[in-house]
Amino acid sequence: MNTQPELNVITPTFNLINVMRLRDHLVWLGKKESKPKVGFNMMYYHIKINRKDAAGICDESHHSCNTVACLAGHAAILSNKFCQNNNISSIAKRWLGLKEEEAMYLFSGSFTRKYIQDITLDDAITELNFMIQNGRTSGVFCP
């Protein structure tokens, strides 16, 4: 008779390593002493903005890309593939291994009850930690 307790192993459907990389990157971003070249702002996820009009919001890391500083933008930056086309959310979704509904949930900020412009870096990190610990987003989707 086996006396070992059963372990409830969660197998995420997304790329756990890349979600952890994104979380670690955002934690680092929050701890950085000087103003980072790429900030964090969920407000402009759905809006195509002019780089000159959005100082501190767009990617200013000299990658020649207008990536906004939202979750999708940071995932795309980490993927090193974000300059190959303009569909940042598609690149981020693939790199994170998310299903369409998971990507929309995460990238639109639906994981909080806040207005998108009020979502903080800590809110995003909290959701990524939930994903890492539970193998899914905090949203519940019908199969």
Question: Stretch 138-143: mean pLDDT, rounded?
Answer: 69
**Strand, coil or helix: 68:** strand
Residue where the block lists tokens 């999708």? 72
Q: 71-129, pLDDT tens digit by residue?
A: 888 888 888 775 555 678 888 999 999 999 999 999 888 888 888 778 888 999 999 99
State pTM to two decimals.
0.74
CB atoms within 10 A of CB 65: 17
Distance of CA 121 to CAs 63, 80, 104, Å? 22, 21, 18
68: β partners: 58
Q: Which of 45, 53, 52 is nearest to 71 (CA)?
A: 45
Q: 40-76, pLDDT tens digit by residue?
A: 666 655 444 444 444 444 444 444 444 556 888 888 8
Q: 19-47, pLDDT tens digit by residue?
A: 999 999 888 888 765 455 566 666 655 44
Torsion, Cα of 131, 136, 139, 143 (10° steps): 170
